[in-house]
Each structure stands twice: as C-alpha cells, then as structure tokens.
C-alpha cells in the first residue's frame, strides 16, 4: 500500500531525510517513531504530496506521488502535525466543506458526514464552532476529516499530542478501529503508543531509518536485550567456564562483590528466560545463590540503544 | 468546477462572516461618504461640465479606497492559511493550485466589487437632482465600473502574489501596498518628463493609472487600457500560480 524507495530530502546545508526505504502492507498500522527533529513530519509531508522530495520514489495506493499527486490525494486522509482546522467553522459544516474539496456532494456527502460524526463520537457537538471546542474534540474532528472520503491510507502526524491520558486512551481505541478498513501510518515520539497500536514499527533518527520491522520482529529484538542478574557464591574461573558452556547465554559480565560473591550479568541469545537453566546449573555445582532476577526490557530500551548507536555512527566521520 | 465552487463559497463566506470583512467595508463606506460630501460641497448650486463619476474620481478618496482596500482584502488569502497550517491540509486534498488561486482571487474580486455598491446607490440617489441625464448615463456607469473593477483586479492580483510569499498578513499587506504604490507613483512620471513627445512619454502615458481612469470615468473604454490591465493582472496571477505550484 505504501512503498518508499531511497527517499532523500535536503534543505540548504541540511539533510532532513537520508535514503529512506520501507513499505507498509495493506490493513496494517505502521508507526513512525523518533525523537523531535528525526524527520517524521517531513516524511509525512512528502508522502501526503505536500512537499516534494529531493530524490527517491514513493508509491501510495498504487500511484506515484510525483506523477499522479491528485490520484494519491484522493486515496489518502492526512491529519497534519498540530491538526490545523478552520476554527471559525462548525464541525458538520467543516466536514461538508472538506468533503466538497474531495468531490463529494449532495446526499452522499450528507450521509457520510452523519456516519463519520457518529463514528468519531462528534454527533452531539456537530453544530459547535471548532474554535470553542477542547483539544480532544478537535483531534477527533481532524480524524473525522481524514476518514471522511473512505481513503485507503490514513496518515496521522502526532495524533495524541496535547491530549490528557483519558483522551489518549479513547483516541488509541479509535485509531485501532480504523485499521479494519484502512492502512494507517502514524507518527509519534511516544513509545507506548507505538507498542500498543502498531503492527509495523519504523524507528527514525536524524533522517535515517534505524529499524523497519513488524511488531513481532521488534519484540524479538527487544527480547534480545533481556538481562539476567545473579549473585552467586562461587569461584571466578569455574563460574566463567560454566557460563561459557551454556548455549543460551549470548554474553556475560562478572563482577566481584567480596565475601566470595560474584555478580553475573547475562544476555540471552534468543530472548528466552535464563533463570531456570542458571538455577539448575548452580544447584548441580553446589554453589550458593542469593539473588536471581531478570529485567523486562521495553521498546524504550531498544529505542535508546538504536538511537544512541545511530548518533555515534553519524558522528564518526566528523 | 464543484471543487472550485466549494472553495469559492468558503472564501466569500470568510469575508462576510469575519470582523475583518466588515472593517474593510466600514472603511470604504466612510471614504465613499467623504467623497460624496466633497462632491456635494464642491458642486452645490454650480454648473457641472463633467459626468458625476468624474467629479467623484477627482476627489482624492478614490485612490485612497483602491490603494488601501486591496491589500486589506488580499492579505489574508494565502498568508493566513499558511500561518495557521490549514494550507497544508488544503493542499493535500485533490485540489489543483489553479483552483485554489482562482477561488481566492475571484472571491477577493467579488468582495471588492461589493464594496463599491454603496457608491452606485449614492450616485443614483444624487443623479435624481440633475436635470441632464447625461451626467450619469448607462455608458458612464458601465465605463466607470469596468475601470474600477480592472484597477481592482490588477491590485488584487498583486495582493495575492504578496500574500503567497509570506506567512505574515502584515508583511503581505506591506508588500502589496508597496507594489501598488510603486505602480501608482509611476503614473506621476509623465508629468515630470521634460520631453512629452519621446518614447519615454509614450511608455509612461501607457502605464499611467490616472490616464486610464480619466477615460473610464467618462465612459470611454480604450482597447489599450483594457490590454494593459488584462496583461498585467494575468502576469501577476501567473507568477502567483507558479509560486503555489513550485512551493507546495
């Protein structure tokens, strides 16, 4: 549904996007994750045909964005960053105006407006002036506008920014329900949002794509960061030997705590829990154990690791 | 066409539903009232040797209205949408730059035309006190209307160009006023030339707004004047269109 090949965007003296390539399949919710200034909004703007790229090719819903921008626009629903709306208009009036811009008219537009108002829980405020509504309602109007013409792709740039936790929860529920009929591309710098909502995760840093995987693959990568910690009363060399012989241990680090106790930090090769195997090994050796824990890494850990590596890699040439 | 009409209705609605539209209307109404007062005071009880529209044009308020109202009308057209971000959501719907520019320009022009309605009502009222219908016949009304609308079209197209260049309405108004004033001031050059028969005189006479308007208000429609306004307006709109197209 979305195909991006070698997308690059350069401004004078600054590269905003550097050779971005990814694709998103139909019916997926893809999440752009990255810190502020990573290039998320620039990518969204290019994909929505608002801004031309310096080089690269983008195909949205089967149409090249450069060659057939109007065809692409007919098939996308885009909510830009900060959700700009005509604040002087009433909700239903605004949606009818936006429908008119997409070639909808008459009864079909009226009917679809009613449906969308219902779907986005805006029926009660349909006659209210947008400028007098709360942020949460305005965001819903933005989404209602994006789905009004039944687009194949919905693009939401930072959709939950500025919402209170209750509104964020409601909003996530709304976005999740959209995936039944649409392909959704959303950008955010909130990790939990991506973790909960998206089944395709793209991590962006400094205009480069650091990760481009399905949620399952990302979860595996997160799992590989699982760290097991044990404090064992054992001699250094035999313990080191024993850990080396365990197939599931990717790497380990031993630190002397005194009083005969050693602290071992281990990473699993495949994200499996090392604790049962470790406990079995210590029992066989007849050593003493006073602590055995395993931390639960999150997407945040992977994000920090990737973005840190990205930063180091980029700084190397200079 | 449907998309154009949707945009056009929205743009016209903006003038009629916001305070700024009524502020411009009030300002123009005040200036028209002042000009009317001047005309009445100047010609009360005296014989007139020119049409009523020419008497009105000879007051300084005519150019005040045109020079001040046009930047005020056009300043928000693109700049406001850019500053609020609605330009981005507009340009990601299936609309063409030509439809956007056309709707904005036409709505500004329509509103500009509406601003002059009070003048015509006052003229018709004033015409009742003249014995000779030649002071305000159909030809004079049509010629003056055409002149007013053509000068307006040119200044509004310059205003649209100014508005598309910036996100600030104030800067857009300043640029538009500067462009209009530059063209307006060029109209004086003809009076400063020592040689009134050279090609320079012919050139400045051709672009003199005073020269054009003094013909229009007498009901004279000169093809050269028409060509000038149509070409200059088209050029300005073309530059605006290219800017919208290339800075999507």
Residue of A nearest to B15 (CA): A88
Over residues A95-145, the pLDDT tens digits come to 999 999 998 888 999 999 999 998 888 889 999 999 999 888 898 899 899
The residue-averaged pLDDT of B218-232 equals: 89
The half-sphere exposure of B108 on its side-chain side, counting CA atoms within 13 A, is 30
The residue with greater pLDDT, B44 or A308, is B44
Reported confidence tier of residue B134, pLDDT bands at 50, 70, 90: low
The residue-averaged pLDDT of A37-46 equals: 89
Pairwise CB contact (< 8 Å): A78 & B90: no
pLDDT score recorded for residue A135: 86
Is A108 near chain B, with CB under 8 Å? Answer: no
The residue-averaged pLDDT of A70-75 equals: 92
8 Å CB contact between A73 and B248: no
B95 SS3 class: coil
Nearest Cα residue to B221 out of B146, B122, B141, B120:
B146
The residue-averaged pLDDT of B38-55 equals: 76
B89: closest CA of chain A, how far (Å): 7
Q: Is the dihedral of CA A125, A126, A132, A135 positive or negative?
A: positive
B14: closest CA of chain A, how far (Å): 9
8 Å CB contact between A208 and A7: no
Q: What domains appear along chain A, each with residue ranges and CATH number? A: 2-221 (3.40.50.300), 226-294 (3.30.70.260)
The β-bridge relationship of strands A208-214 and A261-268 is unpaired
A295 SS3 class: coil
The domain ranges of chain B are 2-246
Of the candidates A85, A88, A100, the beta carbon closest to that of B2 is on A100
Chain A, 135 to 174: residues with Cβ < 8 Å from chain B are 145
Chain B residues whose C-beta sits inside 8 Å of any chain A C-beta: 2-3, 5-7, 10, 14, 17-18, 84-86, 88-96, 248
Residue A195 reports pLDDT greater than 90: no
The residue-averaged pLDDT of A72-91 equals: 92
A37: closest CA of chain B, how far (Å): 18
Over residues A249-280, the pLDDT tens digits come to 888 889 888 888 999 888 877 767 888 888 99
**CA distances for B215 relative to A208, A312, B234, angstroms:** 65, 73, 22
Pairwise CB contact (< 8 Å): B93 & A48: no
Give the ipTM of the model, two decimals please. 0.83
Q: What percent of chain B has pLDDT over 90?
A: 51
Of the candidates B91, B93, B248, the beta carbon closest to that of A102 is on B93
B98: closest CA of chain A, how far (Å): 13
Most A-contacting residue of B18, B76, B92, B248 (CB-CB within 10 A), to test interface: B92
A173: closest CA of chain B, how far (Å): 24
For residue B175, what are the contacts with CB-CB under 8 A and spacing of at least 6?
B162, B165, B166
Over residues A89-106, the pLDDT tens digits come to 999 999 999 999 998 888
For residue B2, which residues of chain A lie inside 8 Å, CB to CB? Answer: 100, 103, 105
Pairwise CB contact (< 8 Å): B248 & A49: yes
The β-bridge relationship of strands A63-64 and A55-60 is antiparallel
A145: closest CA of chain B, how far (Å): 10
The residue-averaged pLDDT of A25-39 equals: 85
Pairwise CB contact (< 8 Å): A50 & B95: no
The residue-averaged pLDDT of B198-223 equals: 83
Greatest mean pLDDT among A33-47, A73-87, A177-191, A200-214 lies in: A73-87
Pairwise CB contact (< 8 Å): A84 & B10: no
Over residues B67-109, the pLDDT tens digits come to 999 999 999 999 999 999 999 999 999 999 999 999 999 999 9
Q: Is the dihedral of CA A80, A81, A83, A85 positive or negative?
A: negative
Nearest Cα residue to B68 out of B182, B232, B186, B180:
B180
pLDDT score recorded for residue A171: 79
Phi-psi region of A206 (alpha: psi -120 to 50; beta: other; left: phi over 0): left
Of the candidates A80, A86, A103, the beta carbon closest to that of B88 is on A80
Which residues are paired to A3 by β-bridges? A23, A59
Reported confidence tier of residue A316, pLDDT bands at 50, 70, 90: very low
Of the candidates B6, B18, B88, the beta carbon closest to that of A97 is on B6
Reported confidence tier of residue A310, pLDDT bands at 50, 70, 90: very low
Mean pLDDT, all residues of chain B: 88
Over residues A284-299, the pLDDT tens digits come to 989 989 888 887 777 7
Residue of B nearest to A93 (CA): B10
Nearest Cα residue to A130 out of A119, A139, A121:
A139
pLDDT score recorded for residue B140: 82
């Amino acid at each position: 549904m979305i195909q991006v090949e070698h997308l690059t965007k350069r401004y004078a003296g600054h590269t905003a996007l550097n050779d971005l390539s990814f694709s998103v399949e139909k019916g997926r919710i893809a999440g752009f994750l990255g810190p502020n200034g990573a290039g998320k909004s620039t990518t969204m703007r290019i994909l929505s045909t608002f801004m031309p790229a310096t080089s690269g090719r983008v195909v949205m819903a089967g149409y090249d964005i450069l060659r057939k921008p109007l065809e692409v626009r007919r098939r996308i629903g885009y909510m830009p960053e900060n959700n700009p709306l005509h604040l002087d208009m009433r909700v239903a009036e605004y949606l009818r105006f936006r429908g008119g811009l997409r070639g909808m008219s008459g009864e079909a537009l009226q009917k679809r407006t009613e449906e969308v108002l219902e779907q986005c829980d805006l029926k009660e405020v349909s006659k209210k002036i947008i400028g007098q509504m709360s942020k949460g309602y305005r965001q819903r109007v933005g989404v209602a506008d994006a789905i009004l013409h039944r687009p194949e792709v919905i693009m939401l740039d930072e959709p939950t920014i500025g919402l209170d936790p209750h509104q964020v929860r409601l909003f996530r529920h709304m976005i999740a329900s959209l995936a039944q009929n649409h392909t959704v591309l959303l950008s955010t710098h909130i990790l939990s949002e991506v973790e909960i909502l998206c089944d395709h995760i793209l991590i962006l840093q400094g205009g480069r794509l650091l990760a481009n995987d399905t949620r399952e693959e990302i979860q595996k990568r997160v799992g590989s960061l699982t760290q097991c910690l044990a404090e064992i009363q054992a001699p250094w060399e035999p313990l080191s030997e024993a850990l080396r012989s365990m197939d599931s241990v990717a790497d380990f680090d031993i630190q002397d705590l005194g009083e005969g106790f050693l602290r071992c930090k281990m990473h699993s090769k495949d994200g499996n829990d090392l604790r049962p195997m470790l406990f079995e090994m210590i029992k066989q050796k007849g050593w003493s154990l006073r602590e055995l824990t395993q931390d639960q890494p999150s997407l945040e850990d992977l994000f920090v690791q990737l973005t840190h590596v990205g930063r180091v890699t980029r700084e190397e040439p200079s | 066409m449907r998309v154009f009409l949707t945009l056009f209705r929205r743009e016209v609605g903006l003038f009629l539903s916001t305070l700024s539209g009524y502020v411009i209307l009030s300002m123009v109404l005040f200036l028209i009232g002042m000009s009317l007062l001047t005309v009445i005071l100047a010609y009360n009880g005296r014989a007139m040797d020119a049409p009523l529209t020419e008497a009105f044009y000879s007051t300084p308020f005519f150019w005040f209205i045109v020079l001040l109202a046009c930047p005020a009308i056009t300043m928000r057209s693109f700049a406001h949408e850019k500053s609020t971000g609605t330009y981005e959501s507009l340009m990601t719907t299936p609309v063409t730059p030509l439809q956007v520019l056309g709707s904005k320009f036409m709505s500004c022009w329509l509103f500009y035309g509406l601003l002059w309605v009070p003048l015509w009502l006052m003229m018709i009222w004033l015409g009742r006190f003249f014995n000779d219908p030649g002071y305000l016949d159909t030809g004079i009304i049509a010629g003056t209307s055409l002149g007013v609308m053509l000068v307006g079209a040119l200044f509004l197209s310059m205003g649209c160009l100014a508005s598309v260049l910036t996100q600030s309405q104030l800067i857009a108004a300043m640029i538009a006023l500067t462009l209009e004033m530059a063209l307006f001031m060029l109209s004086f050059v003809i009076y400063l030339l020592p040689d009134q028969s050279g090609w320079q005189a012919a050139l400045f006479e051709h672009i003199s707004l005073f020269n054009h308007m003094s013909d229009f208000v007498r009901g004279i429609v000169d093809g050269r004047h028409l060509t000038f306004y149509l070409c200059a307006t088209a050029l300005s709109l073309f530059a605006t269109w290219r800017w919208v197209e290339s800075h999507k």
